[in-house]
A and B are shown apart, each in its own frame.
Chain A
Amino acid sequence: MGNIASVANMIKKVGGSCEISDNPDTVRKAKCLIIPGVGSFDHGISELHRRGLFTAIQDAAQNDISILGICLGMQLLGNNSEEGKLKGLSLIDADFVKFNFEGKSQLRIPHVGWNNVTTLLDNPLIPFDNDEKRFYFTHSYHAICNKQSECLLTTNYGYSFTSAFSSGRIFGVQFHPEKSHRFGMELIRRFIAL
């Protein structure tokens, strides 16, 4: 599922270690989990089912293992997506919809490039401070949180959308920290230290 090599590379860079695995038992016993991914929603979900990872990730969440979903990985954590028909992991109460500017804007889809984030809730990954933070985005769908208290970060593209959410030890980020220079490095460093 795409950018796994880049994520592993970033973890190594910040002094961590990781195992790339599609083994459900390894997933259940992990210290923390990162679910990367690019591609389509249904393809992602069906691949999780095919490898027995769908329930393994839900079990990991039950056992309080920290989870970080990146890009498609974030979308898989939600309930569902306009992009597909399959049900998501439902670990965070959010639905994914396609950017819709209702003809008011000439903005192009996908949303590709560097954009800023605004921290709504203080959190261990991107705490409040005054430094500008920018991350690399590439996506056409974004989250709508059903619980406002789970929306961590917002980003503006045509309108303000949820660029990160969390519930307990489960986090999802729409951007690619593994491809966001020192800004992403800091986030990954903080996540593996949780």
Chain B
Amino acid sequence: MLKNRVIPSLLLKNGGLVKTTKFSKPTYVGDPINAIKIFNDKEVDELMVLDIVASKQGRDPDYHMIEMFASECFMPLCYGGGIKSIEQAGTLFSLGVEKLTIQTSALIDLDLIAGIAARYGNQSVVVSIDVKKSYFGDYQMYSSANEKVIKRNWLGFLNQAIEAGAGEILINAVDRDGTLSGMDLKLIGEASKESTVPLIAAGGVGSLNDIKLAVHAGANAIAVGAFFVYHGPHRAVLISYPKYKELENLFKEI
């Protein structure tokens, strides 16, 4: 049976590993290579590395660093941040990255998604959608590069992204990011109802039970940041990942 994936999600800023809270206050948590080695040893299902400033700074992905990451990963590696062209995508694949996560460029034009999917297959491209709750509790699409809410229907965009060739959708609840307060299950449910491709949910995991609830709500995979990087009430940096048996038992009950 296909297993639900539990994916550590690492954020990069200027070569260091950081963790954000609600997409702001990036706090340095360590050296990315070291973290990736530890996650590799723990046999994680997959790894996601997102450069949170590449698009903001309008610069290319850090190819040298990504190549080092890929050489330490004996599991699939998904990279996101600053991808604007098919040529860049080709370079990243040649370095050993399996999948690309794209948001900023996809918001401008879904042709890039279609182009990558046509050349490298749908499985190689993930479209990332950030959603932020309004004061009234409505879900609004958010652009992480501009740090602004955008006036566009997020479910409509999700469908267009799939139509264009996205092989997976990453849905991130901005208000839950880094809070360890549980995932936005309503958001996951709405995305799941629409999505015909695998859905990766992110934002808010603070326990194994949160992962289980998200799968129950319709997520195929769960991306986890703070919960695998921090330990204890004082947020001491300690990298962890559940044992395979723990995850197996967790999902057995679903």
Assembled-state Cα–Cα distance A182/B244 (Å): 13
Assess whether B254 is interfacial by the CB under 8 Å rule: no
The one of A40, A72, A112, A176 that contacts B168, using a Cβ cutoff of 8 Å: A112
Contact among A6, A38, A157 with B124 in the assembled complex (CB-CB below 8 Å): A38
The one of A3, A39, A134 that contacts B3, using a Cβ cutoff of 8 Å: A134
Known A108-B195, A134-B3: A179·B75 in contact at CB below 8 Å: yes
Count CB-based A-B contacts (< 8 Å): 107
Residues in A neighbouring B124, C-beta threshold 8 A: 2, 38-39
Complex Cα spacing A137 to B168, Å: 14
Chain B neighbourhood of A38, CB < 8 A: 98, 120-121, 123-124
A87 part of interface (Cβ distance < 8 Å): no
Contact A181-B74, Cβ < 8 Å, known A39-B120, A108-B196: yes
**Given A9-B70, A40-B118, A134-B3: A112 in contact with B198 (beta carbons within 8 A):** yes
A110 an interface residue at 8 Å Cβ cutoff?
yes
The reply to whether the CB of B236 lies closer than 8 angstroms to some CB of chain A is no
Give the shortest distance, in Å, between B80 (CB) and chain A (any CB): 16
B101 at the interface (CB under 8 A from A): no
B76 engages A176 (CB within 8 Å): yes
Q: Which A residues are in CB contact (< 8 Å) with B64?
A: none
Q: Decide if A66 is an interface residue (CB 8 Å cutoff).
A: no
Contacts of A43 on B, CB cut-off 8 Å?
A: 119
Q: Residue on A with the closest CB to B94?
A: A5
B9 within 8 A of A: no
List the A side residues contacting B199 at CB < 8 Å: 108
Q: Least Cβ distance of B13 to chain A in Å?
A: 25
CA distance A108 to B2 in the complex (A): 11
Of all chain A residues, the one with the shortest Cβ separation from B7 is: A113
Instruction: Name A166-189 residues within 8 Å CB distance of B.
Output: 176, 178-182, 184-185
Quick one: which of B67, B73, B93, B220 contacts A108, CB cutoff 8 A? B220
Cβ of A71 to closest chain B Cβ, rounded Å: 9
Instruction: Tell yes or no: A165 within 8 A of B by CB.
Output: no
Q: List, in ascending order, chain A residues with CB within 8 A of B74's CB.
A: 9-10, 13, 178-181, 184-185
Q: Which residues of A contact B45 (CB under 8 A)?
A: 113-114
Within 8 A of B (CB), among A101-128: 108-116
Residue-wise interface mask of A (139-179) relative to B, using a CB-CB cutoff of 8 A (1 in contact, 0 not) = 11000000000000000110000000000000000001011
Q: Which of B93-124 contact A (CB under 8 A)?
A: 93-96, 98, 118-124
Q: Cβ of B210 < 8 Å from any Cβ of A?
A: no
Chain B residues within an 8 Å CB radius of A40: 118-119, 121
B206 at the interface (CB under 8 A from A): no
- For B71, the chain A residues whose CB sits under 8 A away are 9
Give a binary string over B1-37; 1 marks a CB under 8 Å from any A CB, 0 the rest: 1111100000000000000000000000000000000
Q: Does B211 contact A (CB under 8 A)?
A: no
* Interface status of A61 (Cβ within 8 A of chain B): no
- B121 near A179 (CB under 8 angstroms)? no
> What is B's interface to A at a CB cutoff of 8 Å?
1-5, 43, 45-46, 67, 70-71, 73-76, 93-96, 98, 118-124, 167-168, 195-199, 220-221
Q: A110-B198, A180-B74 are known; give 11 further A-B pairs, CB within 8 A.
A: A6-B96, A10-B74, A40-B118, A110-B123, A112-B168, A112-B221, A113-B221, A115-B2, A136-B75, A140-B122, A179-B76
6 A–B pairs (Cβ distance < 8 Å), ordered by A: A2-B121, A13-B74, A108-B195, A112-B220, A116-B1, A179-B76
